A and B are shown apart, each in its own frame.
Chain A
Amino acid sequence: MEWETVIGLEIHAQLNTVSKIFSGAPTAYGAEPNRQACPVDLGMPGVLPVLNQGAVERAVMLGLAINAEITPRSVFARKNYFYPDLPKGYQISQFELPIVGLGHLDIELEDGTIKRVGVTRAHLEEDAGKSLHEGFEAMTGIDLNRAGTPLIEIVSEPELRSAKEAVAYMKKLHSLVRYLDICDGNMQEGSFRCDANVSVRPKGQTEFGTRAELKNLNSFRFVERAINFEVERQIDLIEGGGSVVQETRLYDPDRDETRSMRSKEEANDYRYFPDPDLLPLVVDHAFIDSVRAKLPELPDAKRARFVEQYGLSDYDAGVLTATREMGDFYEAVAGGCDAPKLAANWVMGDFSAALNRSEVELKDAPVNADGLAGLLARIQDETISGKIAKEVFEAMWNGEGNADAVIEAKGLKQITDTSAIDAIIDDVMASNPQQLEQYRGGKDKLFGFFVGQVMKATQGKANPAQVNERLKAKLDG
């Protein structure tokens, strides 16, 4: 039987406000346990939540970026359950009326086609604390620094049909929240997390199969592997005569498998009801307009502009706009050297390779946009050749100064003086009489040999075009 996979993703993105969603405690990552938890975050008696404007602005920003409806009057609700990392015994979330309604996101599939994925809703809520199991005998330690960190939960329609599509959607959203600068996107620190609802059904069937919810997917790779594992598991189960149970499953990256979370098996009855401590959140046109005014250029628009403005291929434009930082970097380089295609080749080529090799983030790269533009300008004005430029770039990357300083220090300036090149060619011809004779006897292939000899004699610094031209004249003359 042929099976179809059905996936819906719930993505939790921590909003990068400085304070919590309902309290004035800081949100910075990595503080000592419970040093960033105030009475509101600790669920102390009598304390009350007050909503952070920064969180609302970021949610609206996301809504606008996915062309979603912004709910004019959204409501916060309490989701009631007991858990030690949930200090109040309820999570403040949005249930019936989320701030962001139906929207969509376009993703690019492997074959280059564009697929539009529906976003059902996105709602504001507070994050829970963390349970730490190591270091205690038979006990668990609770750190509530994370409790109350603003989250936006973005729920997709069940329209993704493979693990690869799911990853493409997740990457697109990841890029988007970073473009919008509403989330730092740090998946290791849990700023951007994903749960996947996965089911399978016989191809052609319209009803959905029973789904499992996969938790703890904190990297793109895990999302792909967990979904693939789960799809196989479900198909094997059904084909073996069994049936899928609706449950929460945890992905274990060490074993590359998903397993049932027994602790969450108890039937959940969250008893949602409107939070009486918070009033309806009204977002009017003026508020939306003020947020819209702050919206940066979004990835798809930037990509189209790069094609138009810089004459790049759609593919190159896509690579260069994958992140806002990369797009900005590229534009700075292109503007600085006035050679957009050369800049694209370098940013995607040697520069990206160096980033990968050194395992550094773009913002920490030892060569900044000005530096790279300076190097490319020297190629443009023929001070150095493209080949020499690679050597200069390596030196710059190793901290030996800017392009001009490296060229000067290493004496890499290109030889463009015709008489100097002529003199070297004369020397080469005189030193290789045999080859000269063979060439003149019709063995054209030896032209390359002479070019090589000239470049060798100049340590690669002779202007290659000039060498070609002068050599041809002299050999043939």
Chain B
Amino acid sequence: MSVDTSEVRRIAHLSRLAMNDDQARDFAGGLSDIFAFVEQLDGAAIEGVEPMAHPLDAEQRLRPDAVTEPDRREAYQAIAPAVEGGLYLVPRVIE
């Protein structure tokens, strides 16, 4: 399957990746090759096969409902690009 630049731009937007036209053109080639490559899966004998989401057939373990995490806001926010009054700042979100 081949991917054109407009499709690349659509996927890039959904992935929140800035991309100019030149980049989109470059990626279109590589992505087309990859999708062509994975088309080999079309020949697989998978009728009636259950999808395998995990390597091990295990079940979810449950954690007791207890508070175990201390407040370490200062440590966590020391590495934040922009904070004020304990809040993370982003450009104004319009709803």
| Interface residues, chain A, with chain B CB atoms under 8 Å away | 17-19, 23-26, 32-40, 42, 44, 50-56, 73, 75-76, 82, 84, 131-133, 135-136, 138-144, 250, 261-263, 269, 274, 276, 278-282
Which of B19-27, B38-46, B55-63 faces chain A? B55-63
Q: Least Cβ distance of B71 to chain A in Å?
A: 5
CA distance A209 to B63 in the complex (A): 44
A141 partner, pick from B69, B72, B88, beta carbons under 8 A: B88
Number of interface residues of B (CB under 8 A): 33
Query: Which residues in B have their C-beta under 8 angstroms from that of A35?
Result: 71, 73, 86
Pairwise interchain contact B86-A33, C-beta atoms closer than 8 A = yes
* Contact assessment for B86 and A51 in the assembled complex, using a CB-CB cutoff below 8 Å: no
| A282 and B87 form a contact (CB under 8 A) | no
- Distance to closest chain A CB from B66 (angstroms): 6
Q: Is the CB of A84 within 8 A of B67?
A: no
Q: Which residues of A contact B93 (CB under 8 A)?
A: 84, 131, 133, 140, 263
Contact flags B72-92 to A (C-beta < 8 A → 1, else 0): 110011000000111111111
Check A261–B95 contact: CB distance below 8 A: yes
Find out whether the CB atom of A18 lies under 8 angstroms from the CB atom of B66.
yes
CB<8 Å pairs between A and B, sample of 25: A19-B67, A19-B68, A24-B66, A25-B69, A33-B87, A34-B76, A34-B86, A35-B71, A37-B73, A50-B61, A52-B63, A52-B65, A53-B63, A53-B65, A54-B65, A133-B92, A136-B89, A136-B92, A143-B86, A143-B87, A261-B95, A263-B95, A280-B59, A281-B60, A282-B59
Q: Do the beta carbons of B59 and A274 come within 8 Å of each other?
A: no
Q: Which residues of B contact A18 (CB under 8 A)?
A: 65-67
Is the C-beta of B14 less than 8 angstroms from some C-beta in chain A? yes
Contact A278-B86, Cβ < 8 Å, known A55-B65, A139-B91: no
Closest to A58 in B: B65
Knowing A19-B68, A263-B93, the reply to whether A34 touches B88 (Cβ < 8 A) is: yes
| Count, A-B residue pairs, CB within 8 A | 121
Q: Which of A75, A131, A269 has the most CB of B within 10 A?
A: A131
Do A24 and B92 touch across chains, with their CB atoms under 8 A apart? no
Q: Which residues of A contact B71 (CB under 8 A)?
A: 35-36
Name which residue of chain B comes closest to A15, CB basis.
Answer: B65
Q: How far is the CA of A23 from the CA of B64 in the complex (A)?
A: 10
* Bound: A209/B95 CA distance, A: 26
Chain B residue nearest to A40 in the complex (CB):
B69
CB pair A24 B68 closer than 8 Å:
yes
Residues on A with C-beta less than 8 A from B84 are 136, 139, 141
The reply to whether B89 and A278 form a contact with Cβ atoms under 8 Å apart is no
Name A250's contact: one of B64, B73, B95 (CB within 8 Å).
Answer: B95
A279 partner, pick from B59, B68, B72, B92, beta carbons under 8 A: B59
**Minimum CB distance partner of A36 in chain B:** B71
Residues from chain B with a CB closer than 8 A to the CB of A143 are 86-87
Q: How far is the CB of B93 from chain A (nearest CB, A)?
A: 4
Decide if A276 touches B88 in the complex (CB within 8 Å).
no
| Residue among A42, A76, A84, A276 making CB contact with B76, cutoff 8 Å | A42
Q: Shortest distance in angstroms between B32's beta carbon and chain A's nearest beta carbon?
A: 21
B77 lies within 8 A of A34 (CB): yes
A132 to B85, CA, bound (A): 12
Residues on A with C-beta less than 8 A from B61 are 50-51, 279
Closest beta carbon of chain B to A261's beta carbon, Å:
6
Q: Is B94 an interface residue (CB 8 A)?
A: yes
Hey, which chain A residues are within 8 Å of B86, CB to CB? 32-35, 143
Distance A240 CA – B15 CA, assembled complex (angstroms): 40
Closest 8 CB pairs of A and B: A54-B65, A141-B87, A24-B68, A38-B69, A53-B62, A33-B86, A142-B88, A279-B60
Report the minimum CB–CB distance from A148 to chain B (whole Å): 10
Which residues of chain B come closer than 8 Å to A42, judged between CB atoms? Answer: 76
- Residue of A24, A131, A278 near B69 (CB, 8 A) is A24
Instruction: Choose among A25, A34, A144 the residue that contacts B67 (Cβ–Cβ < 8 A).
Output: A25
